[in-house]
Structure 1
Amino acid sequence: MSDLETETRFQSDPALEPLLADLASTAARRDTEGGTAKRERDLIRESGLLSLAIPRALGGAGADWIEIVQAVQRMAAVDSSLAHLFAFHHLMVVTPQIFGTAEQSRALMEKTARERCFWGNAVNPKDPRLRLSRDGAILRLDGAKTFCSGASDSDMLIVSALDEEDRLKIAAIPTRRAGLRIHDDWDNMGQRQTDSGSVSFERVELREDELLVAPGPLGSPFAALRPCLVQLLLVAIFAGLARGALDEAKAYVRGLPSEGAARIGADAFILHTAGELWTQAAAVEALLDRATRAFQSGWERGDSITPRERGAIAIEIATAKAVSARASLDIGSRIFEIMGARATHARLRLDRFWRNARTHTLHDPIDHKLKEIGDFVLNDAYPTPSFYS
């Protein structure tokens, strides 16, 4: 973390500090290896941080989204793959609270806190191949899902499927359910340890009480906060990538022989570049803070939140996302203008910040966000709730 950051930055739980130090020490090597970061996932389990979003009364830490988002941002600065898994775990943990009943949410949160469950994702509503069928009293899942971040080594999954009438259904199920198979087929240039490959389902039985149907997907203004939370967590990862890339550049320059560091530190053009990248990172963090506080206020409104209030939150987050996506790409690329040609050595893997940003910012392109923002600016129109807005 940079020594010029403001005093308002998150003062983390003591468990976060040693975890971040460990992740940072192995991030470059693990970026080369790819695959499932089993050891690091277990460290996150042991830290107790998986229970941040769970109320104290249910065995959790009772953190708010301001605290959680800042923890995600700090983790992304050292390892955006693990930050993605950490962020989406919290999203999945609260999905039963958003889409399901109070009883479902309570039971699953208590289980998560008690067993230190790590949640994974098998939602991807743009992949329609997973189908839910009913045979008398038995529900079954058959098909496949792609981009299932965190499914490997998870304990629980949030799954989406289309039923026999092509209606979207969401369920929370144990990962080790018979017939469910996780494939080791994620080998992309960035976010290499998010295990965002595919999951197949063959006659996977589903209990009726595992379906989240009250109010179900986007069934109320509060339920429509879930896609806002998805987008907010992505902003936190982009902000972390931007800050992490800049911090790595600074550390690299300061680690050079004294004459080299002095030469770079006196070059007017390099100083100009460093100042430009700094202002981008600072702007992103300010927008993230503003968007997070807006979301937290909406979350606290619960079922009382109105469609208009939800829409205003969506615009705040879309604005932060548009700026943070571009900043993470720009900073991740331009840090080499500060460090010089030797910093491109493959052993350093300093290109991982740009590769991770380039991969992750394609989740849902910012052009869609800019269109929604423009519609709001000119027509006072809020985004129509969807799994991406």
Structure 2
Amino acid sequence: MLTGSFHWQPVHTVYVPAHRWSVRTVREWGEQARALLEEHLAGPEELAEVFGVPLGLARAVHPRVAAKLATDPIEDVRIDFEDGYGTRPAEEDGHAEAAAEAVLELHRTGGLPRRWGLRVKSFADDEERSLRTLALFLERTGVLPGCTVTFPKVLEEPAVHRFAERLPAGAGFELQVEDPRTLPFLRPGLHERLTGAHFGVFDYTAALGLPPHEQRLDHPACDHARHLMQTAFATTPVELSDGSLAAAPASEATADVHALWARHAQLVRHSLGNGFYQGWDMHPSHLVSRFATVYAFHLARYDEYAARVRAWEEQRQVGGVLDEPATIKSLAAALRRADSALGHAG
């Protein structure tokens, strides 16, 4: 096969506040997203208009989105005990135990996403509470396949090592880059159990003192932070993820749903174009725009990239282009990534 195998990375991580998580959450998100698709994006023509893609491409994307929402609406989920959950000292123990029981039931019935885990509180906010929830949750679930723990607002390197020491054997973790103080200690080999680094747009831009209306993923300051993350982990298997759009449709009116999808798609395209192939989704509506944008991004150039790789292998030119070996390597990687995202392989 031309493109070979490729390590699967989810295209998104869905964050669900812990007190709202249940065995029904994944199914309900899929149902809500499908209802939005059917009501506000009935066919390829509407998709082409909302997402600004050619009609021919929209015809290939629309059925893929519908099938994805019906069969695998959430690729990666975090049960959130941090920002989305807030401070609930009298309830957090119970919510941690109930969330773990729901995970076990979903695992038993085959309904658990391929990646799953929890986000605990930051050590900067409450280290004791963070570790207690981690222990209560993982003591019940164990380290099931796909388990990942998210460690937010990491402000000092020693906290990374203290946190990792409390993880059970077999559990990996991802840290969140939500403050400029995190960037200086990012490097290859930061910790052997580190599997990912996720960018947190709102805390990061607030820490820089940006005005509220400039707290957006496509701000140049966020581009700078993401490029530093890429530089720090370029030679490692650490997966990188962008952050979120903290917005839902203003109403159930088609115009408002389309406006939300168009803005989310713009941000997802910005992430993809800058080499961040995963991002956060915070509302069922985001599933539609996430998958539509990701599929359109990969399908738009798939045939061209494949032709250029084949031509290089056969020592032919395509349209007068003489690709460098480094470009061929990039083209082949893009094809493998597309196969993974589109479900061709991996």
TM-score for both structures, normalised by structure 2: 0.29
Instruction: Output the TM-score relative to the length of structure 1.
Output: 0.26
